[in-house]
Structure formats: C-alpha cells, structure tokens
Amino acid sequence: MAITYNDIKLMKSQRLDDSDEGGGRMTGNEVVDGEINNLFPDISRLDRTYGRVQLRKAFPAVLTNTTNPFYGGHVIITKSAEDEKVKCCMCTTKSSTDVRKDAVDRIQEYVVQGYRLTSYILMGKHVQGSQALLVQQDIEDEIPSVNSVLYLEESDGEDGEFIKIKKVEVQKEDSKKRELCLTLWAQTQYEHDGFHYTQGGGTVIDTYFYMTIVQDAMHYYSIKKLVTSANKGDDSVKVDDIFHNLVPCAQSSDALSNRDATGSYGSYQATNADNTEYTLVDDDFDSVDGVITVYCGIGLLPGSVKVNGYNDDGEGNIPGYYDGTVDYETGIITLSHDGSLHVKVIAIPAARPRIKRCTMAYSITAETRTSVLAVTLLPYPAAGSVVIKYKAQGNWYVLTDQGDGTIAGAVPAYGSGTIDYSTGSVTVSLGALPDLDSAVIFSWGTNAHFYTKSAFNTDKFYIDLETEKQIAPGTLTITYTAGGVDKTVTDDNGNLQGDGTGRVYYSEKKIRLEPDVLPDLGTTIQISYHETTDEKQQTFEITELTDNGDTLTANLGENIVAGSLNLEFEVKRPDSSYSVEKVTITLRDDGNGKFINDANSSIDYTTGEVTFTKCWPVTTYKTTCTYINGGNPGGGWGYYYCSVEKVTVDYCPEGPFTFKYTTGTTTTQYDENVTGYTLKTIISEVASNVIIPSSLYLFLGSHVLLDNEGKIYDGMEHTTGQWGAEVGTIDYENGLIELSDWNWANGASNNGINVKGLLYTPQKITTTQAFFVTGACPIQVGSFQIVFTRADTGEQKAVFADNSGQIDAEGVYGSIDCNTGIVKVKFGDWVADDENAQSQPWYSEDNVVGDQVLKPAPVYAESVKYNAVAIEYIPLDPEILGLNPLRLPTDGRVPVFRKGDVVVIHNIQQFTMPDNLQAGQQVNLPRGDLSYVDLFDQNGEYVDKQWYSVDLENGVITMSDPLDLSAYTQPLVAYHRREDMRLLTDVQIDGTLSLIQPIEHDYDTDYTYVSSALLMGDLYASVFNVFDQKNWTGEWSDDLIGDPCTANYNLIDYPIEVTNKGAIQERWAIIFTSSTEFKVVGETVGEIAYGNTSTDCAPNNPQTGVPYFTIRADGWGGGWATNNVLRFNTTAAHYPVWFVRTVLIGDATAEDDNFRIQIRGDAD
C-alpha cells in the first residue's frame, strides 16, 4: 500500500515539558495541526519580561503497516510567528531516546573545553561566589577579550565550570608575565584554590585554566524572509538575516575609555653597551609566610641574574636556589625560604622598550573574498610578533606567529601559514571564508633600533636664575654656600668666573650658573648687581640686511654696551617633510665681540655693526613615506609605510630680526636672594634622541638614582619595594634632568651625574593608518572617537564617527563597523587629484574620492587611542532562562544557514475555491508556474488527490469525475506554492545565499521565505545486523563477542518482520533462558516480553498498538541453549526533532505566536 498524506504525522514525545526529563521516546499521540498549545504552552508575563527558551521534542513519523520508504525526508518551518518577539527553530541530536538535559548539553557545546592554558595561574584562593579573578599569564599570550569564555577546573578534575569575562584590567606586566584582574559576568559556582606555597617551600597550582573552542556542535534550521526579489536563472538569493535568536539577551552599555588602538610588542635589551654587571642588592632579608621578596628597583637582563652565586635560567627561574623566580621587568626576585637570609644580587641592568604594533587590514569584498592570502608586511616583522584575526560566520578567529616562521591557530581548523621575517612575506590559509564586508586584520611588531652606551657623565649641573632688573655688564656678584663654605662668582662681560662658570643674558634678565661644587641644599643664593639703562630695540626685515652668503650683517648705527646685545629671529624648515615648521633663534652677546656659539659672528660695540650666521641647525623629525603594494592576488590592500627619524637640518630665516641692547649703566645697586632653585643637567651624549623610560641607572655620589614615569627617585628600598624619596624629574625627549633634592651631595664636585645604564632610540614610531577591532562590540552608534597626534605638525586631534560609522575630518578618513567593531582609518590630507599628485610616490587610486586624493601623513603610533560606548549583552539566569548563556554566542544568535545546507525558497498563498464544486469543474488559480497545490476543507482536513488534478504550469484545478466530497466541509481552500529546493554553496553574513544551480521561478519579496531543511534521509523500518552469540555478556555490541551459537535462526525463509508503524530505533537481544524459552530485551526499553520457540514472538509497541517486530516460530529450529542470544537492530520510520521556542524580552507585537512546519519527502 502506498504512503498517503494521512500516513505522515508529527508525534509527541513522552514528556512535553521543560524538566530535565522532558522529551524521551516517541508516543502514539499526534501533534494535531491547528490545535492550540499542541506543542508549547502559553507565554507568561514573566517570559515576556525576562525572556525564555523552551524545548519540545517531537517525531515526524511514517505510520504505515508496511516498510514502504518515505524517500528524502526533511522538515522545514514554513511559517514563523507573527509576533516578532517569538522565534522558533529546529535541531536534532539524532537520538530517539534522549531527554531535554541531553539536548541542552549538546546545544551548550557551542563552546567546549579546549587545551589547557599552562601559563595561566590563578593567584590566591577564590571562594565560591567570586566575581573577580586575579590571574597571571605569559606576556606572549593574548589578553583575553571581553565576553570570551574560559573553563576552570581543579587539578583533580573536579569542580569544572565555564566563566565569561565582563572586564579585563592589566595590573602589571614584565617581559615574562602579565597579571590580570578578570571581572566575570556571573559568580563562580565553586571555590578555587590558586597558586600557593607549601610548608616545605614548594609551590602548588590547584586550579587549571582551559581555552574554550567554538565547536558549534548543534546545527539549527529556521525560516527567513526574502528581502530582494529573485528571478528565474538567479544563482543566489538574499534573506534578512542568516542568524536566529536562540537566547534572549538584555543589553547594557560600557565605556571604552582611552583604549590603545594597536597594542605593543617588545623584548629585553641591556642598558649598558659593555654588558657590565653591577651589584644591585647586598642586604639582609626576613621571610614573610615562607617567602623572601627582593626588590632590585630596575629591570634585569634575562640570563644575567646571580642570586648568592646562583644563576637564573633566562626563563624567570633560579634553579636550585630556594625555588627562586625573577620578574625581569620590575627586578623583583622571590625565594622560598623561612627565616632570615643575606641576599646579594648581581645582574646586568636592562629595559624592555615597547614598540607600537603596525597594523594592516585586508578588506573582504565580493571580489577579494578568499581563504588564502599572500601579503607583504613592511616594516619587516619581528619573529613571534605577527597576529592575524579574521571573522567567519560572526565569530572571530586568531592565528599567531610561532616565532619559527610558522603561523597557527588554537586548533588546526582555524588555519595555518608561513612567514619570512627577512622579506615580510606572509602566506596564510584561513580555516573558513571570511565574512563579506569584514576584514582580515594583521598586526605585528618590528625590530626597531635601540642603542646604549658605556658609562659616561651628563653635562655639569647648572642653576637658572632670574633678576628683577636688567643687569649692567660687569656688575654682577653671586654668592652661595657649598659644604659649609661661602663661594663667590662674578661677571666678566657676560661670562661668569670664580667659584663657578656660566653666562649672563642681560636683556633677558637671566643667569645660568654652573657652580664648581654643588651648593648645600636649601642654601640661599645671593645676587648683587647694578641696573642697566637706555635699553634700545631695533627691528629689520631680511631685505634691510646685507647678505654675505653664509652670514647676514646689520648696522645699528650706535654704540652698544659690551655683553648687552640680544638678537631674535625665526628660521623656517626647508620643506614639509620636517615636523617643526619654525624655530626662534636667540643669539646672545658674549661681551668679547661675538655671539655665543656663533663662530662666524662679530659685534662692533662702537659703530653698532653686527654680523651673524644666517642658517641654523635645528633638531626635528623628518618623515619619509613610501607606498607599499600588499601583493595579494585580486587586490585588497595597498598602504603607506612612513618612517620618522630625529635629525638635525639647517633652517634659514625670513625675518624680521629684533635687536635688543643697552647704551649705558647706572650706579644703583640691587641685592636679591634666591631660594627654591633646582639643579639641572643635560644628557648631551644622546642629544637628538629619545630616552626609553625606566631604562636609567644613575649615580650621584654614592646614591643610585632611578627613573619611573618621568620622575627621579633616590633608589628603592630593597626589602619593601617602596621607591626612595622623589628627588627630581626627567624629560625623555631632550634629556633634561632636574633635581630638587641632592642633600647627600652637598659640596660635591660638579661633574654631573654618572650614567651607568640607559637606552635610547633615534626614531619615533609612526603610522599613516590604523586597523583594529574594538575591545568589545557592537558599538553604540555615534559614540566612537579616534584620537591621534600628527608627527609632522604636533597637532592633537579627536574626531567622532558619524551615525553611519564614517570618519571624515581634517587629517583622518575611515570608518567603523559598529556591529563588528572593525575600525579602518587612514591619516593624511586631501589634495587635488591632479597631475602633480599623480606623479608623487605616495599616490594611489585606492585613496581617490571624487576630485581629491588623500596624501598620507604620519601620526605617532603611541598617540592613536579610541573612545567608545560598547553595547553589552547581559547573561541571564540559566534556571529561569532555560539555557546557560555563558556557553552560547554573546549576542544569543546562531546561524541557520550554512554552506552545504539544503534550502527551500517558497512562496505559499491561499485561494478559496467556489462552494459546491461539481464533477469536472475547472477552477483557475490566481497564478501559474506553480510547484505544488494542496486542497484542505474548512476544518483543515487534507483533500485526497484522487478528487482533483492540477495543471501547475497554468494554475488550473480540475475536479475529478465522478466526484465525492461528502467527507469534506466546503468551500475548499487551495494552498498554491512556488518553490525551489537548492543546495547552498556559500553563505555570506549580509544574508546572501549562493545556490548550486539557478532557480526555476520568479519570486518577489511578498510572502516569499527561505527555509533551511533539517534532513532526515529515507524513512522506513528495517532489521539489520542480525547475528547469534553463544554467551550473553550484557554488552551491547554490534560485533560478535566470543563464539557464535551452534544453532541458527533461518533468516532466509523467515526474516524478522517490522512495520513503519511499530518499529523503533533499538538494539534487541533475544536471550535464551532454556533450550526453548527466551526473554526479549531492548537496550533502551529494557526487558519487555517472554517467548518460546514454538510460538511467534511479536511484542506489542504500546504507543502504536502494533508489534515492535515479529519473529516467526518456524525460523528457530533446534540446538539453542541457555544464555544463547540472537542479536539484531531495528530502525524506525520516524526521526527525532527538537523544536526550540525563544521568547525575546519585550511586549508582544502581534497576537499570533504560532509557527507551522512541513514534513516533506517522496513516496511511490
């Protein structure tokens, strides 16, 4: 008998509720079409307020007393709920017996426990209910991102739980370790013990961290609306969304303030060119809780540390000595020891300069979308520094440089690649095609140039003084006390002499004193002088001066008091590649007929003729930009690499020139007292360079001076880690050290400061672009701001993106995708796209917009920051929600279309037929070119196809002759459908679904939907894998265990019989209890019947009222013995499907919250 429409039913499972035991086996109860609450209950007010996820298991089934196949069975959702707050999808575990708890476990395997993060160490004890964890990780590890999920487990395998990160704060870091405070979305379920010391001095790690891997074990199927009309012959269609809201989420916002855009990379370098070792600590220590902590106060070079003669291993350990560890960046050493201990530390001072990462983005468009990339990174990347991020199906995946020329992900499925550090060439195969309109983000560190020197002294200390009146040349006397002895300095036409040297700048009322010995701290400096009179000022334009080639000459036309002349003028940069546009030059009269530091100058004090050098060397930053072609087939990027180097170049004047001088003096004497002054010194040995912070190791007398964040400290207390007294400041740009305290050096010879360690660089890292992903997403529209400082002008800028995500302002152009957090910005200025621009090496058509082209301009990489407001999804209570959101996507959405899925594009409409249909009557439907037409009566009863035929092409229904519709209530309703069933070859995040072959129908967007099909395969009952076994062991194996029986069942003449209606998915054992009697046992149903070899065995399936199977008595024969077993399996003509209803937070948008499914297939 052929399978009919009425033989295909949706059957209920054992328990239709949300308990752990919900679901189970198929029952004989039908899910009646159109019946209210036939599968799900009413939606409560709490469901609307908090959100809810409910699961119900049901079985599409073929209920015939034959084994006729229902070919190619599949299920689709044909109608979604009109209430937009109610969503439904389908999934399957393929288990006929599983319950809700099992299904939830599979659903929550979106993320699963991965490999152990061996470098992650939980610091200290964290009690149950903790919502913040203190964690240490290796510096090479990527900082976990907000909303990422980790797995915690005790070392004995107990008390495992998933944690989801709400906030990440870096407490401290060094060359090896980073300490993080992880704030969690939910409290921990268990107590976790962290790293601690044992009584014997050893260490124990009781809690392990594991990476979680996006496994996405469950596939989901649903329905989405067509948003773009599709025409016959199209090989793609577009839906409104490829994702389905599986879990409701509440939203909040979080400020991302002053975030670093590109990250940094660094390695350790010695701060002394000779790699000189110094004794940094030589003190007695007392242990605290069995631990001695030694604070060196300065960074240490890995592999150079000796603690009481024991060497470190370069990895932060001191093998064989009290389980010692070294924090190289902070210089902190820990030793496991009870009691007192004298500790001597010898090491090479070091620093770990950070280099801002370079960034690049390969934009993913329809033309450039590929999973294989070949690109070039310039400047060349440092080994181990490259990070590649890409987004596929809404998830971010990360590949990292392993430091040996290979690139790999957390698991092989994420992708792999290679890198040549000498050429910057990278080839990478991504684990999946990146999402359309996303980007592959590259970031890397460089082998930047850092330098050091052998020990040297800074310039001599000087003191800057100012007077109230203008000093008459030759009248100044300065007195001060040093080492308890009075000292005197006098003026010789601008040059200081006596117990110190220096200069007097008469017109500026300033004095620079270099004392021979350091004055006593707090001593008063006394200044005595006569005031000058007849101050004059003259201003000349450059055209009024005589140009002598290298010099200029001005004639003031009157006498000048020797030492009183002061000249000011501006010089200008030769071209715009230099950062400093103009500099004011000030020349001061040396009192002996010349300007200080101008060998070409001359001053005639009698006639007023003055000659001086025209062009002056200026220290500035020079920018050189080169356009780099990324080299990837098909395009995708081109970018500018700009280098900025500190250089000295001649700047020449344009005028005006201002001369200030005096022509007479007075006998009036003035006396002034100066207190609160500072000692200043310049590290001129590294002039025109930038000093690396925290790299200084200085000595003034017997005291060690250390720098930290621009401040100078009098060493560090080795036992407590407290900085010594703050004694001064340092300007890392110009090398100026200014001391406010030098009490221990009162009266000492002025030889400056002895520098035993420092690092410097001639370059500042710049970039002309920044490509990155925000620390959280999505980003609130209108909240994103990019902040940067131009390297060529020094100008600071802060620019907001507009509501569409575009960034277009002076100096910057780009965009942010607020949904993905992808930021792409380029820095520069718009200039005319003319022949001149097109001839420049920086020109690229990629940067042309209209009649303008973006000319790149460098910004300091360290200055690129961003501010934004991130929208956060708050995980809800799993007990109320029905699923644990910590193990599901952050936004609660899962894809319902995937490459390789079968989809049905369908347009279903209704048409009411005329009443009282007659035999042979023809009815014209509103349209032709149809795929199916089905008739139903007013009660929803299916009208058998024997009573009508359909001309699908023309849309005509012809009633049969003879015709008997007495079993149906008229008027009948025709459901006419156009559809195409296709295989997906690609799925793009914008909703574009690529099809393996073109569609055969036209579809508009009204009433047209695309459903992903849950494939069940051919549905029919069968018996397979029949064998006998001599002894029943209790093990359910599909292979023979031990020996076969001597007896055999005659399967050829008496095969085991099943029906579609009665068979279930089960493994059966007929276990003999004697030579003729047996019991019937199923793996999941248990023992259900007894039988004997003289009677047919047909145990009844209570759910359907027909036998599970029938074994004919004539097939047994003789020779059976106790504990013999006949094993066989049966397949069912039904299939397990879990239906998931999600109620999103919010009021209902429509009364209709029902959805409709269709069980589809073919039958003879």
pLDDT of 1059-1117, one tens digit each?
A: 999 999 999 999 999 999 999 999 999 999 999 999 999 999 999 999 999 999 999 98
Structure tokens at 1105: 């009222």
Could you tell me the pLDDT band of residue 709, with boundaries at 50, 70 and 90?
confident
* Alpha-carbon torsion, ordered 146, 149, 155, 160, to 10 deg: 130
Q: In what order do the strands lie in the sheet with 546-547?
A: 546-547, 551-555, 609-613, 602-603
Percent of the chain with pLDDT over 90: 55
pLDDT over 70, % of the chain: 95
Task: Determine the pLDDT at residue 625.
Answer: 60
Spatial contact of 786 and 807, defined as CB atoms under 8 Å apart: yes
Banded pLDDT at 202 (limits 50, 70, 90): very low
| Residue type (1 letter), 930 | L
pLDDT reported for residue 539 = 95
| pLDDT of the residue at 763 | 65
Asked whether the bond before 841 is cis by omega within 30 degrees of 0, the reply is no
Residue-level pLDDT at 636: 36
* 13-to-29, 57, 64, 70, 181 alpha-carbon distances in Å: 8, 6, 19, 21, 47
Q: Which residue did the predictor score with more confidence, 490 or 583?
A: 490
pLDDT reported for residue 1072: 97
Dist. CA 801–CA 809, nearest whole Å: 9
pLDDT at 635 exceeding the cut of 50: no
As a dihedral over the C-alpha atoms of residue 609, residue 615, residue 620, residue 625, rounded to 10 degrees, the angle is 160
Strand partners, 709: none
Sheet bearing 425-430, strands edge to edge? 358-363, 439-444, 387-392, 395-401, 406-409, 415-420, 425-430, 372-376
Confidence of residue 639 (pLDDT cuts 50, 70, 90): low
Residue 901's CB is within 10 A of a number of other CB atoms, namely 19
Q: State residue 623's pLDDT score.
A: 66
Q: How far is CA 589 from CA 555, 559, 597, 876, in A?
A: 15, 14, 10, 77
Over residues 551-559, mean pLDDT: 94
The CA distance from 189 to 159, in Å, is 8
Cis? peptide before 778, omega within 30° of 0: yes
| Cα 496 from Cα 596, distance rounded (Å) | 13
pLDDT digits (tens, 9 = 90+) for 488-536: 999 987 889 999 999 888 878 899 999 999 999 999 999 999 987 778 8
Instruction: Report whether 24 contacts 12 (CB < 8 A).
Output: no
Cross-strand partners of 318: 324
pLDDT tens, 525-550? 999 999 877 788 999 999 999 999 99
Give the Å distances, CA to CA, from 739 to 442, 462, 513, 526, 712. Answer: 44, 10, 15, 20, 8
- d(Cα 315, Cα 329) in Å, to the nearest integer? 12
Q: Average the pLDDT over each of 574-588, 716-730, 957-971 and give the range with the smallest value.
A: 574-588
- Is the pLDDT at 366 greater than 80? The verdict is no
- Report strand pairing: 223-225 vs 859-860: unpaired
Task: Return the pLDDT at 201.
Answer: 38
361-371: average pLDDT: 83
DSSP 3-state of 655: strand
pLDDT digits (tens, 9 = 90+) for 240-295: 999 999 888 776 677 777 888 877 777 788 999 899 999 999 999 998 888 899 99
**Are 612 and 598 within 8 A, CB to CB?**
yes
pLDDT at 640 over 60: no
**51: alpha, beta or left, given left = phi > 0 and alpha = psi -120 to 50?**
left
Provide the pLDDT for residue 1092.
96
Residue 173 pLDDT greater than 80, yes or no? no
- Mean pLDDT of all residues in 1121-1137: 97
User: What is the mean pLDDT of the segment spanning 713-741?
Assistant: 93
SS3 per residue for 210-231:
EEEEECCCCCCECEEEECCCEC
Total residue length of the chain: 1164
| Model confidence band, residue 793 (pLDDT cutoffs 50, 70, 90) | confident
Return d(Cα 729, Cα 680) in angstroms, integer. 10
Instruction: Give the span between the Cα atoms of 833 and 856, in whole angstroms.
Output: 14
Q: Scanning the structure block, which residue is given the tokens 């849950």?
A: 1014
Name the DSSP class of 1012: E
CB under 8 Å to 235, separation ≥6 — which residues? 994, 995, 997, 998, 999
Q: Cα 976 vs. chain centroid, distance in angstroms?
A: 49
Give backbone dihedrals phi and psi of 74, rounded to 5 degrees, phi first: -155, 160
How far is 888 from 109, CA to CA, in rounded Å? 8
Q: What letter would DSSP give residue 836?
A: H
Sort strands 893-895 and 609-613 into parallel, antiparallel or unpaired: unpaired
Residue 112 has φ and ψ, to the nearest 5°, of: -130, 165
Measured in degrees and rounded to the nearest 5, phi and psi for residue 444 equal -160, 155
- The answer to whether residues 357 and 263 touch, using CB atoms and an 8 Å cutoff, is yes
**Greater model confidence, 1118 or 114:** 1118
Contact 360, 641 (CB under 8 A): no
Beta strand segments in 402-507, E: 406-409, 415-420, 425-430, 439-444, 456-457, 463-466, 477-482, 485-492, 495-498, 500-505
Whether residue 194 is predicted with pLDDT greater than 90 in this model: the reply is no
- CA atoms within 13 A of residue 300's CA, in its CB half-sphere: 34
Per DSSP, which regions of 913-967 are E strands? 922-924, 932-936, 948-951, 956-959
568-582: per-residue pLDDT in tens?
A: 999 998 877 676 778
Check if the beta carbon of residue 766 is closer than 8 Å to that of residue 861.
yes
* Position 631 pLDDT exceeds 60: no
Q: Give one DSSP letter per residue of 40-72, joined into a string.
A: S-PPPHHHHHH-EEEEEEEEEEE--SS---EEE
* Domain 109-214, classified CATH 3.30.160, yes or no: no
Q: Are 483 and 532 in contact (CB under 8 A)?
A: no
Check residue 963 and report its DSSP letter. Answer: -
* Mean of pLDDT over the chain: 88
Q: Could you read off the pLDDT of 300-344 as tens digits, one per residue?
A: 999 999 999 999 998 889 988 788 899 888 899 999 888 999 999
Which of the pair, 593 or 880, is modelled with greater confidence?
593
Asked if the model's pLDDT at residue 978 lies above 90, the reply is: yes
Region 578-591 average pLDDT: 84
Q: What is the mean pLDDT of residues 1021-1042?
A: 96
Which of 91-95, 451-455, 763-767, 991-995 bottoms out in mean pLDDT, i.e. has the lowest? 763-767
CA 859 to chain centre: 23
Provide the pLDDT for residue 450: 81
Position 198 scores a pLDDT of 44
DSSP state, residue 195: B
pLDDT band at 590 (very low <50, low <70, confident <90, very high): confident
Strand ranges (E), 357-462: 358-363, 372-376, 387-392, 395-401, 406-409, 415-420, 425-430, 439-444, 456-457
Please report, for the chain, how many H helices and E strands are present, in that order: 4, 94
User: Which of 36-50, 178-192, 204-218, 434-448 is least confident?
Assistant: 204-218
